[in-house]
């Protein structure tokens, strides 16, 4: 107190006198605790005084518990975020369980069908079975090419293409046949489609993808570029977050991508949604270090 100057002491006593003139009410329930009042100063004008006290622990606690829904919401969001981050950084770690007999495989076809079929020819068919082929509803060529390839493995494969509807394959012949199913999915966005209508079609595509994924629940998803794969990969990721069927997603960026990733590739890479991300040119591996450089497939 001795260090304070005369001016400061004057100010302090003046403030004390003003305070005593005010009719004050104290509210301990608001946060922060405050007291407010009004009175007249020596010039006759009304002074409204609002003093906010330091938030004591007592004050805060009462404020929080008075809103349990907020507390619950924050907890839930934190848990979900933590789980999502865990899954994102957990993907890419090889599966530790003992080698499976065979894995059900979903193959997403699109603009680079030749590359995908090339990859499939290197995979042992008895390990990757049953196989489900999926292509955009407006893509006629891809399913035909896949069908031709599968035909070399089975006696007869019939499939019916009904525009916009899920297509199933049926086989005839002996019992030791590979099973392959061919399906179509609504495309999120056609080339050149306006972005506004794209939002609607993307939502439809996601709903359709959800239904397909629930039906098949594949252990392996193979895709190589077209946007068709995005709704499927997102659903697979969400399944992981919720704990349903751990699908391993493998993305092979097309050979046509030398210096830049495609949009699908970029999204899957940045969001850690693919378990393994393959690129065919060294320039991309330098730019995206988490990708595996595997050389040209064609």
Partner 1 sequence: MGDSDDGIKSERTVFVTVGTTCFDALVKAVDTQEFKKELSARGYTHLLIQMGRGSYFPKKSTGEDGSLVVDYFIFSSSIADNLRSASLVISHAGSGSIFETLRLRKPLIVVVNEDLMDNHQSELAEELAERKHLFCAHPQTLFQTVASMNLESLLPYHPGDAAPVAKLINRFLGFPDD
Please give the residue ranges that form the binding site for partner 1 (CB under 8 A): 94-100, 103, 112, 114, 118-119, 121-124, 127, 220, 248, 250, 252, 254-260, 262, 275-276, 278, 280-281, 292, 294-298
User: Residue 200, Cα to own-chain centre: how many angstroms?
Assistant: 18
The crossing angle, in degrees rounded to 10, of helices 263-270 and 229-242 is 10
Nearer to partner 1, 43 or 96 (CB): 96
Nearest distance from C-beta of residue 280 to partner 1, angstroms: 8
Nearer to partner 1, 128 or 159 (CB): 128
Residue with tokens 């995979």: 123
Nearer to partner 1, 65 or 98 (CB): 98
The two structure tokens encoding residue 71:
């507390």
d(C-alpha 37, C-alpha 16), whole Å: 14
Nearer to partner 1, 34 or 276 (CB): 276
Nearest distance from C-beta of residue 293 to partner 1, angstroms: 9
Nearer to partner 1, 33 or 291 (CB): 291
- Across 128-166, b (16+ Cβ under 10 Å) vs e yields bbebbbbbbbebeebbebbbebbeeebeebebeeeeeeb
Nearer to partner 1, 133 or 250 (CB): 250
The two structure tokens encoding residue 208:
């359709």
Nearest distance from C-beta of residue 258 to partner 1, angstroms: 4
Are 185 and 212 contacting, i.e. CB atoms less than 8 angstroms apart? yes
Q: Is the dihedral of CA 147, 190, 221, 293 positive or negative?
A: positive
Nearest distance from C-beta of residue 194 to partner 1, angstroms: 14
Contacts of 48 (CB under 8 A, 6+ apart): 36, 37, 38
Q: Which of 104, 106, 175 is nearest to 135 (CA)?
A: 106
Contacts of 211 (CB under 8 A, 6+ apart): none
Nearer to partner 1, 115 or 150 (CB): 115
> For 133-182, where are the alpha helices, taking DSSP H only?
141-151
**Complete DSSP assignment for 28-83:** SSSSS-EEEEEEE-TTS-EEEEEEEPP--HHHHHHHHHT-HHHHHHHHHHHHHHHH
Nearest distance from C-beta of residue 171 to partner 1, angstroms: 25
Nearer to partner 1, 181 or 247 (CB): 247
Nearest distance from C-beta of residue 135 to partner 1, angstroms: 16
Nearest distance from C-beta of residue 98 to partner 1, angstroms: 7
Nearest distance from C-beta of residue 110 to partner 1, angstroms: 12
């Amino acid at each position: 107190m001795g260090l304070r100057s005369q001016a400061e002491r004057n100010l302090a006593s003046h403030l004390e006198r003003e305070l005593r003139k005010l009719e004050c009410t104290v509210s301990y329930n608001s946060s922060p605790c405050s007291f407010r009042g009004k009175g007249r100063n020596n010039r006759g004008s009304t002074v409204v005084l609002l003093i906010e006290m330091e938030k004591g622990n007592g004050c805060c606690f009462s404020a929080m518990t008075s809103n349990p829904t907020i507390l619950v919401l924050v907890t839930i969001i934190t848990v979900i975020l933590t789980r999502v981050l865990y899954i994102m950084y957990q993907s890419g770690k090889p599966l530790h369980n003992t080698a499976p007999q065979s894995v059900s495989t979903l193959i997403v076809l699109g603009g680079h069908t030749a590359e995908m079929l090339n990859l499939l020819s290197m995979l042992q068919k008895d390990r990757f079975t049953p196989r489900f082929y999926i292509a955009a509803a407006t893509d006629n060529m891809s399913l035909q090419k896949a069908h031709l390839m599968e035909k070399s493995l089975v006696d007869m494969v019939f499939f019916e293409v009904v525009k916009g509807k899920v297509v199933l394959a049926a086989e005839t012949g002996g019992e030791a046949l590979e099973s392959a199913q061919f399906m179509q999915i609504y495309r999120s966005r056609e080339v050149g489609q306006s972005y506004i209508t794209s939002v609607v079609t993307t939502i439809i595509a996601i709903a359709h993808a959800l239904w397909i994924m629930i039906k098949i629940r594949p252990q392996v998803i193979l895709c190589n570029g077209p946007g068709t794969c995005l709704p499927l990969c997102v659903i697979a990721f969400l399944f992981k977050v919720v704990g349903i069927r751990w699908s391993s997603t493998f993305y092979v960026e097309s050979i046509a991508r030398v210096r830049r990733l495609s949009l699908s590739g970029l999204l899957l890479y940045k969001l850690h949604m693919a378990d393994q991300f393959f690129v065919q040119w060294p320039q991309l591996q330098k730019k995206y270090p988490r990708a595996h450089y595997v050389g040209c497939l064609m």
